[in-house]
Every structure is written in C-alpha cells, then in structure tokens.
A and B are shown apart, each in its own frame.
Chain A
Amino acid sequence: MDTLMKERANMFDAKVAKARCKAYRRRILDMSQKVSALHIGGAFSCTEIVDLIYNDLMRPAVNGGHSPDTFLMSKGHGCMIQYMILVEKGILSQADLDAYCTKEGRLGVHPDYGNPGIEASTGALGHGLSMVVGMALAERGRRTGGTIYTVLSDGEIQEGSTWEAILMASSLKLSNIIAFTDNNDFQSLGRTSLTHPSFYPLADKFASFGWETVECDGHSSADLYAAVTGRKGNGPLMVVAKTTKGKGVSYMENVPIWHYRSPNKDEYKQAIAELEAQA
C-alpha cells in the first residue's frame, strides 16, 4: 500500500459509502420520473464502484483545480450515476440535470467530452480502455503520478478493441491504470453466461494477459476498496466486480427490460419503498 492509500485508508468508511449509494439510487429513481431514457439497470449495477472511485480513490482537487487522477466511464450508458456524483460535487449543476436530454440542456444519455467532469465521449462500446492507455502513457511521460480509473461493462469486454487495449496496458506495464469490470452478467439480449458460456471465467483471461486481477463483490464498497488497496501495483489492475443489474430494486434485478426502461408511478413508489427499507 503506498503512502497515499495509507492516508486514505483511515478515511474510508463503508457505512458512509453505503448511505451515499442509497442516496444516489434514490436520486436516479427521482430523475426517472422526469425523463424516459435513463439506463437505470446499468447505473445501479456500478453505483458502488463509481462512488468508490470518486469519493474514496481519486485524490481531491488541489487549489481549486482538477484531481490529479482521472475517471473515464468506458461503459458510457452507466453515466447517470456519474452525473449524480458530479452534481453533488458541484462540477455539474442541478440545472444541468433538470435539462437532461432536452434541447436546452447539455447532458445526454451518454457522456460527452467537453461537459464539466467528463473526460471522454463514450457510449460506443470498446473505445474507453484504449483511451485510458493513452491517458496513462501521457501521465507517465510527464511523471505526474496521475492514476486513470475506468469502469467497463462485461458486454464491452466482448469487443476485440478492448482486448487490444488489455494487451497494450500490461505490455507497457501501465501500473497507473485501475479498471473495474461491472460483471452483471446481462446484456441487451439476455444473460451473458447463457448466450456466451465461453466468455467465462473472466478473471483468468485478464490474468493471462498480464493484468493483476482481483474478483470481489461489486456491491460491497469495503470489498472493492480492499481489492484496490491490496494491489501489488506492478502493472495495471483489473477488479472483476460481481454485480447485479438493477441492484436495489427487486423487480429490476436481472430483468433485461430495465436496461433502458423508466418505472411508472406505482413502480417508482415501490422502488423507493424498497430502497428506504434497506439498512
């Protein structure tokens, strides 16, 4: 564990992380009542991961500038959780969220480079990790010590382009890359383990390409935190995080339609009740 991690280890609090994630999910559900296109399922499956990156892993901004670290949302369709956190941090505004997907606004269904806090335009899958490799090279070249964090969907790991980047990140020994696979076992047409059984085991594949690889529960902030802080750090790290698509709302969990659908009024009430009932 490096000095930075040691300093921050004292600050990490799983209970606080849990409360934050509950609040983010609730805000996303609130948002779902205003707009039709939201990708709730994929945002809920990576809520703990994105929360941890922003609130416990990335170093705070110095002197009102940017964090020395970078987060690139490779699974662009999960960006609603990112928007919520950026609003909380004051990087995006509530007005931005209110104007989501309207002609007056600047936020769309996928993250768009140029908007505050958005480091790359993603949404087309299989683009993010190569850009992460380029960013990590730039940080290494300038000796800034910057770490690049990213979240990939398990679906986009089917893209050949992702494997080109997997190959390069470890070959170039880019130890300043920390990646998470949001392994929710679902893609648009159903359960991946049924349609693509040869896709598994996933962690072994990254490991065989020279990545330090850890598997953990992607909805346990403590497990995720331990996965990152316990790394050896000789090369890039891949955290294969087992997650549930639609996590937190019973009727959304593992039901593909919630990849994109928004709940109606009754469904919304039920979802909120379920969230509030959780410890």
Chain B
Amino acid sequence: MRNTFSEALYEAATKNPDVYIVVSDISPAGSMAKFSTQYPERFINVGVAEQSMIGICAGLALKGCQPFAYTIATFSLYRPFEMVRDDLGYQNLPVTVVGMGAGVIYSTLGGTHHTMEDIAIAGAIPNMQIVAPCDPAECTEATRWCATQKNGPVYLRIGKAGEPDLTKGAEPWQFGKIRYLRRGTDVCILTYGCITKMATQVADQLQAQGKSVSLVSVHTVKPLDRVGIVEALKRHKHVIVIEEHVPQGGLAPQTKQLAWDTQATCRLDTFTLKDEFIHCYGSWEDLLDAHGVSVPKILAKVA
C-alpha cells in the first residue's frame, strides 16, 4: 500500500502544484524518491517532530494547498493529537493525515508502535473523515480522492507493504459508500483495512461450506454509510464484522448500534482486537491470533 500511495500521490502532485507531503523522518518507498527529486520544495521532512508536521500542513492548507502528513500511524495521530484536533478538525482544513502501518502490523516492534484505537480517536473529532483502504488498488483510489477533496481533514489508515489484491472485479470505489467485493444472500462480512485479507479467507471457507457470502469493504469508516449497512443488515440472515481495532469506537459497535436502532433481526457477530495491550512478538497473524482474531477462531464461532 505504501508504494501505491506514493505513486498516486506523485501523480496528484504532478497535476496539482499545491499538493505537498510533510513527513516525519519516514518516507513511503517507491515513487516518493521521484516526488522528492522532482518537487523538492513540496517534500518537507520535519524530522522527529510530529506536532510541527501537522501544524505545517495546517498552515499550507490555510493558504489553499492540499497537504499530506505522513508517518507511522501512532505518531501521525496520537503524538500530535491536539494539533490534529485544533489545527485540522476545528479549522476544518483539507489535510490528509496518513497513518501508515496501522493496527498491529508492526507486530515485532511492540505496543508503542501498535495503532489499535485510531478509529475511535480520529472518529471522535468533529469534521474528521476516515478512509481505510483494504488493498493497493483501493489505496490508489483513496489517495486520489484525498488529493482533490476539500471537505475537511481525512485520516487515511493504510498498511505497510505486500498486501494482496482483493478488489479485482469489484464495483467501483466511491467515498462514503460501502463496497461489495462479492455478493451473496446468507452471510455478509463487513470489514476494512488490511484485515480484509483474513475476512476474504473466512468468506472463502464459508462459501466452501455451501453458504452464499457477501464481502464488503467499509473503506469509509467516517462518515459511515449507514444506509448501506442497514440494507446489509436487512438483506442477510447473518452479519459478521471483522476489524483490526479495539472493541470500542470502531465499526463493530457502530454496526451494533445501527442494528438496534433499526430493529434488525439478523444474527450479528463481531470480531475485534481485545481491549488490552498484548505483550507478544511475532508475525502480524500471530498478534491478531493473540487478540483472538484468526480464520479458525472466527469460523469456530460463526459456524
């Protein structure tokens, strides 16, 4: 996703001289070298100084530019939180805060580098929009959208590298609308971000068991496509939410609330990270498993 993000941003910067990227001592690979060589005045590295990264983006946006702030998710959102809230949210500026490697992707770096509460935290800020693409192709679409939108701030939650393509042949990406990656009638899986890979495996297994399965990328987590989710709750007998986020403040509780508000009658299962800091080092899958989220664990519960 990092590579497709930088390619899409490079394209955007080529079209629009007001596109800037302000990074905090970490740079997306791939085309970012091209960006910094061709547009050195628009590639700013603040060093390990995330508060100024956000403030500088705000200043650029106050002058009509279209800036991106980029670093590892914990440092792009948590460290400079008041700048994100006041400078971007309160002033409602079209700045994209890229949270790279969100969730527990930095599995061996420990809890300081895990971003498990970002949807709750970013989502609590008025005006903030949240987009979390599930694969490189969605990341391209999302980045292009961020580079041209003027609604207000966006938290763009992306993975790291090596994510598989999951959206080939899916319906077109549209901001604010859930996206069916496949359509079925029995079970509907709602998910977003990198864990969509696991959700796809769950969908495959359920289909192998003879079920007709919908798989939905809820790439726009805020504003949430309430109409789309309510419809999914109505049309399926069983809805499953799989997300790489703590149980509070993410897609799972919001789906439950919508189900309650609309008196949904479907079965609803949610799978999230635990409300815990897990002191465990291993692969991304190992970390998710330690949080209780794995294909066998999900299948065992939803069968």
Contact = CB atoms under 8 A, between A and B. Distances in A.
A135 B49 contact: no
A165 B83 CA distance: 13
B44, B63, B67 — most chain A CB neighbours (10 Å): B63
A120, A132, A164 — most chain B CB neighbours (10 Å): A164
A120 B63 CA distance: 11
Nearest to A144: B63
B64 A165 contact: no
Interface stretch (B52-60, B187-195, B229-237, B238-246): B52-60
Given A141-B17, A161-B51, A168-B49, A134 B57 contact: yes
Nearest to B67: A134
A165 B163 CA distance: 36
A227 interface: no
A91 interface: no
B289 interface: no
A160 interface: yes
A47 to B, nearest CB: 25
Contact of B65 (A120, A141, A164): A141
B61 interface: yes
Interface string A134-150: 11111111100000000
B64 to A, nearest CB: 7
Contacts of B90: 113, 121
Contacts of B41: 137, 140-141
Contacts of B59: 120, 130-138
B91 A161 contact: no
A127 B82 CA distance: 9
Interface in A163-186: 164-165, 167-168, 172
A219 B54 CA distance: 34
Interface string A154-166: 0000001100110
Contacts of B296: none
A168 B52 contact: yes
A26 to B, nearest CB: 33
Nearest to B57: A134
B46 interface: yes
A130 B63 contact: no
Interface residues of A, number: 29
Contacts of A172: 44
Interface string B50-81: 01101111111111110100000000000010
B64 A130 contact: no
Contact of B49 (A124, A136, A137, A164): A164
B51 A164 contact: yes
A137 B44 CA distance: 10
Nearest to B60: A134
B160 interface: no
A119 interface: yes
Given A132-B59, A161-B51, A167-B49, A138 B86 contact: no
A134 B64 CA distance: 11
A134 B63 contact: yes
28 contacts: A113-B91, A120-B62, A120-B91, A121-B91, A124-B82, A124-B86, A127-B83, A129-B55, A130-B56, A131-B56, A132-B59, A134-B55, A134-B57, A134-B63, A134-B65, A135-B59, A137-B41, A137-B60, A138-B18, A138-B59, A138-B60, A138-B62, A141-B18, A141-B41, A160-B51, A161-B55, A165-B56, A168-B49
Given A130-B52, A167-B49, 15 more contacts: A113-B62, A113-B90, A120-B62, A121-B90, A127-B55, A127-B87, A130-B58, A132-B59, A133-B52, A137-B44, A137-B56, A138-B63, A141-B41, A161-B52, A161-B83
Interface of A: 113-114, 119-121, 124, 126-127, 129-142, 160-161, 164-165, 167-168, 172
Task: Please name the 4 residue pairs, one residue from A and one from B, whose CB atoms are nearest each other, closest first.
Answer: A134-B59, A130-B55, A138-B63, A164-B52
